Amino acid sequence: MTSRSLCFKLMREDLKRRVWTIALTILSFLFTLLVPAALKSGSYLDEMAHGNLEAYQKIRLMERMTEVVGMNGVVVTMLLVLSVVWALSGFRYLHNSRQVDFYHSIPVKRHQLFLAQYFNGLLVPAVFYLIAQGASVALILRTGIGAEILGSTPWRMFLVNMVYYGLMYTTTVIAMMMTGNLVVALLGTSVFCGYGPAVIMLIIGYQEEWFHTIYRTEEQGRAFLRAINYSSPFANYMLALGDFSSNTLGARQILGAVAATTALGVLAYGLYQLRPSEAAGRAMAFKRTRTPIKLLIALPVAVVFSIFFYELRSTLAWGIFGAVCGSVLTCCLMEIIYHFDFRKLFANWIHMAGCCLASVLLLLAGMYDWYGYDSYIPKATDVKSAAVVIGYTDSWITYGKPETYIDSQGMENYKWGYEGVWDYQFKHMELTDLYPVMELAKKGVEEDQARRAEKDFRWGYGRERYIIGFRLNNGKTIYRQYYLPLDEGTLEARAMIHDSREYKKGVYPLLEQMPADTASVYFQQYNQQYALDLDQDEKTHLLAVYQKELEELTMARREEELPVGSIQFRTAEHDHAITQNQNNSNSTADIEGRCYYPVYPSFTRTLEIIEKAGVSIKPLNSDDIVSIDVQYYWVGDDVEKSREDKEGELISYRSAEEIEALLPALVYRDYLNFNEYYEIAPAGNVDVMVSFAVPRVNSYGSRSSFNFQIDLNRLSDEDIERFEFYGEKSYD
C-alpha cells in the first residue's frame, strides 16, 4: 500500500513539471474534437431550422458529424504527435547528465520513478481524450439525430486509438532508453517505425530485380503485406484503422496490440534498469548496440544504392560503385552520429569494409544467379502435378460469383464478386502429363541465361508469358514465370497443354458446373440475346454436349475459327441475383452479362440443339446492315501512297455494292476477343462501326451500332487499295 501511494505521489509530482505537455494535450483535443463537433452540430441545427434540406443533404451532414468522433484523421495525426511528445517530455532528463544525477539521487527506487513517468504518458492523454470524446458525442446528440445513429462507433474508436497510442508511445520510450541525445532518439523512433516495412519492401525489390522468373500468387502477396503491417507499430496502426473503417477489425487484433505494448513496456523497463547514468549525452546508451544497428542500417542502404546505380547504366562496375558508395556513406554518417565528431568518419573501417564486401556479394549473387533460383527446375519424379497459365489469353472468362451488398437505402442487392484469374487456375488445374510443362521450363531457363548474358531488359517484347506452378510430392508448390519466343518448340508444347482436358478444367469454370445448378440458358449472336426455351432435361443435355465440345476444342481449331455466337448457362444463384436487382429497380448489367462462353462453327451438336430451340443461326449478311462507318487515321510518312486527305475523316459506306465488298472482311470484335489465337491482318488506320437495320437487344440494353475490325486477309488487293486501308496481309 505504501509503495502504491508513493507511486501516485510521484505521478502527481511528475505532472507538475509537465504542465506544458498537459496544456498542449488539452488544446489538441479541444481543436480536433470539441470545436469541430460544435461547428458541425451547430451547422446541422441551423440548416434544419431553415427546413430546406434534401434527404441526401441531411444524411451527408449527419455523416460529417459522426466522422468527428469516428474515423477522424486529424485526431489520429494528433495522437501520433502526442505519443512522441509525452515520451520525450517524460524521459528527457535521461539525456542530461545533471538531471540524471538529480533524479537518481532522490530516495526513490528507480522502478517506481520509471512507472510513474511511464503511466502518466499513458493515462493522462487517455483521460483527456475520453472527456473530449464524451463532450463531442453530447454536442452531436443535442441535434436530435439519436444515439442509434452514432452507435458504439465513438467508444470503439476511442479504444482503438488509445491502444495504438500506447503502442507508439512505448516504442518512443524504448528509443529514449536506448539513446542519450534527443535528436538521436527521434531518429531512433523513425527507424523503429519505418525499418521493418522498408526492409521488406527492399527484399521484394531485390527479388523483382534479380529473380527474373519469380512469380507471387495473391496469397503470397497478402503474406508480404501482412509482414509489412506487423513489422512496425505505425504500419500496424494504419492497418487497424483500415480494418476499422471496413468494419473488419477484430478483438484478436486489438488484444495482439495490447500484448505487444505490454511486451515493449517490459522491455523499456528492463532497459531503464540496465541503462548506465553516464549514458546521458551520448548518441547510444549501450555501446553493444552500436555495431548491430549500424550494420542493420548500412547494408540495406548499400543494396539500394547498388540496384539504383545498376539501373542507371546496367553495368557491373556501376553496381559495385553503388554498393561501395552506399556502404561508405552510411557507415561514415553513423560514426559521426555515434561520436558527434566529423574526425571519426573512418573510426571502424573494418565494419565499413565488411559492409562493402557483403553488399557487393549480394549484387553479384543476384546478377549471376548464385542462388540458383532462376536455373532451378524440379525433377519430374518429384512433381505430383502442374498448372500452367498461358500469357494473357482467354481474358474474357469470368471468375467468381454474385455477392450481396447493402445499398444506401438499406436494400440488399447483388454485384459480381471477382476471383483472382491466375489463383483460380492454379487451384483447379492439375496437369499430369509433365513432358510439355518441363519442356517449357527448360526453354525458360535457357532464355533467362541468354537474357543475363545479353543484358536485354526488353525481354518481354515479342514473347509470350508462361507461369508454371509445380506441385511437389512433399506438398509444396513452386512457381516460376518465363517469357518465351513463339518458335516451333514453344508452340508445340503450348498446343499439347492447351488441348488437354486437365488444362481446360483448370481454365473454364463452366466445365465444373453441374446440371442441377443450371437454371436457364441464353444465346447471343452479334449482340442479340435469346432465351432458350428448354425443359430441365434439355438444359442438362445441352450443358453436357457443350462441355464435351469445349473439352475437345483444340489449338489448331482455334487458329482457324472464330465463334459464331456465345452461350450462357446461368446458375440458380445467378438468376436469383438478377431477379433481386430487378425487383429493387437496380442495374443488372454487371451480373447479367457474365459467364458467356464462345460457340464455334465446329460445335455442331451444340448449334443443332440451339436451332431446335428456335434460334436461327445465320452468318452476317448485307440485308442486316444499314451502313459501315469507317473512321480513318493518319498512318505515317512511310506509306507508299499518301492518305493524309482522309486523316480524321469519317466515311459512311451505305450502298449495297460497298457493303457487299466489305462484308467478307468484317470481324466482330467480341468474337475476336473470345479467341486470341485466331490471326487476322487488321487494317491499321481505321476504326469500324457497323450499323444494323434492326437494333440488337441484350442485358446491356438496345443498340444498333457495334465495333468491328477489317481483316485484310479477306480482301482482295484491289479492294484494299480502293478503300485505302493500311497494313499487310499475314498470308497470300
HEC readout, 8-48: HHHHHHHHHCCHHHHHHHHHHHHHHHHHHHHHHHHHHHHHH
Do 680 and 702 lie in one domain? The reply is yes
Do 335 and 203 lie in one domain? The reply is no
Do 119 and 10 lie in one domain? The reply is yes
Cell of 503: 488444362
User: Does the pLDDT of residue 233 top 50, yes or no?
Assistant: yes
The pLDDT score that the predictor gives to residue 1 is 44
The pLDDT score that the predictor gives to residue 732 is 47
Contact 359, 327 (CB under 8 A): yes
Do 640 and 669 lie in one domain? The reply is yes
Contact 568, 685 (CB under 8 A): no
Helix (H) or strand (E) holding 528: strand 528-531
Number of domains in the chain: 5
Indicate the residue among 285, 300, 316 that finishes a domain: 285
Do 407 and 537 lie in one domain? The reply is no
Do 499 and 643 lie in one domain? The reply is no
Q: Could you tell me if residue 513 is inside a domain?
A: no
Segment 456-473, tens digit of pLDDT: 555 556 688 999 999 999
**Strand pairing report for 383-390 and 625-632:** unpaired
Do 425 and 524 lie in one domain? The reply is no
Q: Could you tell me if residue 727 is inside a domain?
A: no
Give the 3-state secondary structure of residue 305.
Answer: helix
Segment 68-83, tens digit of pLDDT: 888 889 999 999 999 9
Contact 344, 338 (CB under 8 A): yes
The pLDDT score that the predictor gives to residue 498 is 96
Distances from the Cα of 284 to the Cαs of 94, 188, 278, 347, 732, in angstroms? 12, 10, 11, 16, 79
The pLDDT score that the predictor gives to residue 606 is 96
Q: pLDDT-derived band of residue 281, with 50, 70 and 90 as boundaries?
A: confident
Segment 164-208, tens digit of pLDDT: 999 999 999 999 999 989 999 999 999 999 999 999 999 999 999
Instruction: Kindly state the average pLDDT of the residues 676-695.
Output: 90
Do 168 and 183 lie in one domain? The reply is yes
Indicate the residue among 325, 344, 367 that finishes a domain: 367
DSSP 512: G
Contact 570, 513 (CB under 8 A): no
Do 669 and 710 lie in one domain? The reply is yes
The pLDDT score that the predictor gives to residue 552 is 96
The pLDDT score that the predictor gives to residue 589 is 76
Give the 3-state secondary structure of residue 685.
Answer: coil
Length of the chain: 732
Grid-cell match 539501373, residue found: 311
Indicate the residue among 564, 585, 612 that finishes a domain: 612
The pLDDT score that the predictor gives to residue 731 is 57
Segment 25-49, tens digit of pLDDT: 999 999 999 998 888 888 777 777 7
Do 211 and 166 lie in one domain? The reply is yes
Gap between the Cα atoms of 660 and 622, Å rounded = 6
Cell of 545: 454436349
Distances from the Cα of 350 to the Cαs of 138, 332, 347, 356, 358, in angstroms? 64, 12, 9, 10, 12
Q: Could you tell me if residue 147 is inside a domain?
A: yes
The pLDDT score that the predictor gives to residue 57 is 65
Q: pLDDT-derived band of residue 646, with 50, 70 and 90 as boundaries?
A: low
Do 218 and 307 lie in one domain? The reply is no
Q: Could you tell me if residue 514 is inside a domain?
A: no
Contact 258, 177 (CB under 8 A): no
Do 227 and 329 lie in one domain? The reply is no
Gap between the Cα atoms of 728 and 730, Å rounded = 6
User: Does the pLDDT of residue 408 top 70, yes or no?
Assistant: no
Q: Could you tell me if residue 450 is inside a domain?
A: yes
Domain range holding 549?
519-612
**Strand pairing report for 477-485 and 463-472:** antiparallel
**Strand pairing report for 596-599 and 625-632:** unpaired
Instruction: Kindly state the average pLDDT of the residues 277-282.
Output: 86
